[in-house]
Structure 1
Amino acid sequence: MTRADLLLKRQHIEQGKLKTWSRYGRLKDHQDHPARDRILWHGLKLLGLYARGEANVRNPVVRRVEFFFDNLPDAFDGFTILHLSDLHIDGLPDLADNLRARLHAFDVDLCVLTGDYRFGTQGPCHQVYTQMEHLLTGIKTRSGIFGVLGNHDCFDMVAAFKRMGLNILLNESLAVQRDGQQIWLAGVDDPHYFGCSDVSLAFADVPQNAFKLLLVHTPEIYAEAAQAGVDLYLCGHTHGGQICLPWIGPIETHATCPRRYVRGRWQHGPVQGYTNVGCSASGVPVRFFCPPEIGLITLHRTAASISGAMPKRQRHMQPLA
């Protein structure tokens, strides 16, 4: 399919003109479930846990992660990326204010967002736009802000976000320049519900040996990324389960892939990946044993190729100051 074909497919799905199509997720994973959410809301209220769960959503941690690559250009050694996902920005009235105040402390090279900007899956986006614009003005970055659409999002967001400085990549790529060298950043449309992703199309104009960074809403297309020679795959969607049980983990992840891909660092063949558990929550705005996160990623040339040292491991989660 061409980009135009994929855009038309998404628009037909949004308009209800397409009843069946190929996608990675199940239809029920995309739909709002008001009855289920009401039951959960009332249950948490009766147990006296709702206020605690909502407070957890407002208390993100910073997850600092370092990645090492043999083929990273020298100029990008130490390159920093602010990774935000699953903002669901209209889910709580003060969420944008809370996140903006915390993001103000960071000065990064690049900011990327991996989808799901609104809380519901249908309805108007006016409140989303107001909150997103407020949030985006608090982000300091030298190379811009880029993102992809998620399964909660609609195509109309693309033009609105562009006016705010957030550039949505729809199966396309661009070069990020630094000191005369470059890496390539690509983004694909949502593969989970809309099934509109095409990794090969996104990298069609990218040199074969270039360093490739891919933004996807969900971790579910890790195999396609490996075939395309992706170096770093950043995604979200799963919320890390959002509500987890001690020693057991997520009750449900809403992703058609092995659980090793649904939270934190992972690797598939040559592809290094990171699944952000999200900045907020959906369905019912609560979290338990799975705090929201703000990702701060640093890229390095492989330490072994420079000094013979072993690559550093992921740093532990740290609360924001």
Structure 2
Amino acid sequence: MLRPTRSPAHPALIALGAVGAAGVAAAVWGIGIERYLFTVREVTAPALAPGSTPLRVLHLSDAHMAPWQHRKQDWLASLAQLQPDLIVNTGDNLGHEDGLTGIRRAFEPFAGIPGVFVHGSNDVNGPAPRNPLRYFSGPSKRHREPTFLDTDAMDRFFTEELGWTGLNNAATRLTVGGNTLDLFGVNDAHREWDELEVLPEAIAALGPRDAGTSVVGVTHAPYQRVLNRFTDLGADAVFAGHTHGGQVCIPGFGAIVANCDIPLKQAKGLSTWSHGDRTVPLNVSAGCGHSIYAPVRFACRPEATLLTLTARS
């Protein structure tokens, strides 16, 4: 008796099934695994005045904290064991109207370690659902009335309890790890809250600068106008966040969006920025969080950076 034969599956259907399976696997990895693979990236850059002693800087960014994110809180708290000389926080700490609860739990072990911070927009406005495909058309825009967060309470925690200094369109001078640092920064450039024009006066108010003083610029969003101005103002190193390193990247290629105008190859990690006749180290943190409406990381682990600044030759 003859049995009916089955037609072989069409190659297009096989390919489509393979693509679908790969997509599901990538989603499971990015949502269920990689976003919890917190890592410390350790790098070194010559940025201090000649003769300076090395300075260990812990760069934190983009926690986007919600109160239930205990794994992230525990990991951040454990970073105090690295014993950095200075903490640089480049903003977007809050990710929920009760996010300060988690930030307190995460950052309390840093009390007494010198630090500076600037705001990202999510230190002021709560997150909102948005179509992630819109990032491919350029930096995101605000399309609805925001929910305001308790920024003042967060700032009081940072300044009064941790002892950090705010650098939102401001400057300060610190002595850290045997080094004198002039630090200046701006509020979130992505929302055009940066006031670059006030920085020269703020820097001048610090008083005369010794030859052994090093200069550090701090911004949330690394827009080119900010990086250029920081370089012109004498920054020896610049710290930034905001990009999430692309958040969802292509393995072997890297970020496909940066949500600002920085070149994609510089959307994460240590590189250099050149403007005029100066070239300075630039560290852009991929951050350790994500919006509660986009809980995924792919080929871009959540991170903090331990950046050792050394003396220039």
TM-score, structure 2 length as denominator? 0.72
- Pick the structure with greater CA Rg: 2
Partner of 2:160: 163
Partner of 1:6: none
CA contact (8 A) 1:117 1:152 kept: yes
1:279 aligns with 2:288: yes
Judged with a 3 Å threshold, the aligned counterparts in structure 2 of structure 1 residues 91 and 180 are, in CA distance, closer, same or farther, namely closer
How far apart in 2 are the matches of 1:66 and 1:197? 30
Partner of 1:292: 302
Partner of 1:133: 104
Instruction: Give the C-alpha shift of residue 79 in structure 1.
Output: 1.1
Secondary structure of 2:309's counterpart equals strand
Instruction: Give the C-alpha shift of residue 108 in structure 1.
Output: 1.1
Structural mapping, 1:215-226, within 5 Å: 215-220=218-223, 221-226=226-231
The one-letter code matched in structure 2 to 1:128 is G
Secondary structure of 1:149's counterpart equals coil
How far apart in 2 are the matches of 1:59 and 1:79? 27
CA contact (8 A) 2:85 2:176 kept: no
How far apart in 2 are the matches of 1:254 and 1:113? 19
How far apart in 2 are the matches of 1:49 and 1:230? 40
Secondary structure of 1:245's counterpart equals coil
How far apart in 1 are the matches of 2:216 and 2:251? 34
Instruction: Give the C-alpha shift of residue 135 in structure 1.
Output: 1.1
Secondary structure of 1:244's counterpart equals coil
The one-letter code matched in structure 1 to 2:61 is S
How far apart in 2 are the matches of 1:67 and 1:180? 18
Structural mapping, 1:58-77, within 5 Å: 58-69=36-47, 72=49, 74=51, 76-77=52-53
Instruction: Give the C-alpha shift of residue 138 in structure 1.
Output: 2.2
Unpaired runs of 5+ in structure 2? Answer: 1-19, 125-150
CA contact (8 A) 1:190 1:197 kept: no
Structural mapping, 1:165-314, within 5 Å: 165=162, 166-178=164-176, 182-198=180-196, 199-206=199-206, 207=208, 210-220=213-223, 221-269=226-274, 270=278, 271-282=280-291, 283-302=293-312, 305=313
Partner of 1:11: none
How far apart in 2 are the matches of 1:49 and 1:196? 37
The one-letter code matched in structure 2 to 1:186 is F
Q: Deviations over 1:107-156 (max 9, x none)?
A: 11111100001226xxx3xx2111111111123764x1221101212243
What is the aligned-residue RMSD (CA, Å)? 2.7
Q: What number of residue pairs does the alignment pair up? A: 253
How far apart in 1 are the matches of 2:246 and 2:230? 23
From 94, 108, 119, the equivalent of 2:70 is 94
Partner of 2:142: none
Instruction: Give the C-alpha shift of residue 178 in structure 1.
Output: 4.7
Instruction: Give the C-alpha shift of residue 58 in structure 1.
Output: 1.6
Secondary structure of 2:190's counterpart equals coil
Instruction: Give the C-alpha shift of residue 215 in structure 1.
Output: 1.1
CA contact (8 A) 1:171 1:201 kept: no
Partner of 1:13: none
Structural mapping, 1:117-156, within 5 Å: 117-119=93-95, 124=97, 127-139=98-110, 142=113, 144-154=114-124, 155-156=151-152
Partner of 1:4: none
Q: Deviations over 1:158-181 (max 9, x none)?
A: 234333324322222222215775
TM-score, structure 1 length as denominator? 0.70
Instruction: Give the C-alpha shift of residue 81 in structure 1.
Output: 0.7
Judged with a 3 Å threshold, the aligned counterparts in structure 2 of structure 1 residues 250 and 260 are, in CA distance, closer, same or farther, namely closer
From 16, 19, 24, the equivalent of 1:47 is 24
How far apart in 2 are the matches of 1:179 and 1:257? 31
How far apart in 2 are the matches of 1:201 and 1:102? 38
CA contact (8 A) 1:108 1:140 kept: no
How far apart in 2 are the matches of 1:152 and 1:136? 17
Instruction: Give the C-alpha shift of residue 256 in structure 1.
Output: 1.8
